[in-house]
Amino acid sequence: MSNHSLFFTERPRLFKRLIQATSPIWLGILIAGAVAGITYASWQKMRPRALSSETYRFSPESIRITKRPAWVSDSIVPDVLSRMDINTQNTLIDTELLQKLAAAFQTHSWVESVDCVRASFPRMITVDLTYREALCMVQYPNKEGFMPIDKHGVSLPPDYFKSQNVSLDHYIKILGVESTPRGNYGELWGDDVVEGAAKIADHLNRDKTFLQIAAIRAENVGATRWNKRRIFSLFTIRGTKIVWGELPIAENDSRKDRLMQIARQYGSLDKAAQSEKNIIDLTKPGF
Q: What is the CATH number of the domain that holds 63?
A: 3.10.20.310
Each residue's pLDDT expressed in tens, for the chain with a length of 287 residues: 555 444 445 555 555 555 555 566 655 676 666 666 665 555 455 455 554 556 778 888 889 999 999 999 999 999 999 888 877 666 778 888 899 999 999 999 999 999 999 988 777 899 999 999 999 999 998 878 899 999 999 999 999 998 888 898 999 999 999 999 999 999 999 999 999 999 999 999 999 999 999 999 999 887 666 677 899 999 999 999 999 999 999 988 999 999 999 999 999 999 998 866 778 999 987 66
Given 107, 131, 155, the domain boundary residue is 131
45-76 core/surface letters (b: 16 or more CB in 10 A; e: else):
eeeeeeeeeeebbbeeebbebbeeeebbeeeb
CB neighbours of 245 closer than 8 A, spacing ≥ 6? 231, 232, 255, 282, 283
Q: Which domain, by its residues, includes 9?
A: 3-51
Same domain, 146 and 211: yes
pTM: 0.77
Please count the structural domains in the chain: 3
Rounded-to-integer distance, Cα 12 and Cα 7, Å: 10
Q: Is the same domain home to 63 and 44?
A: no
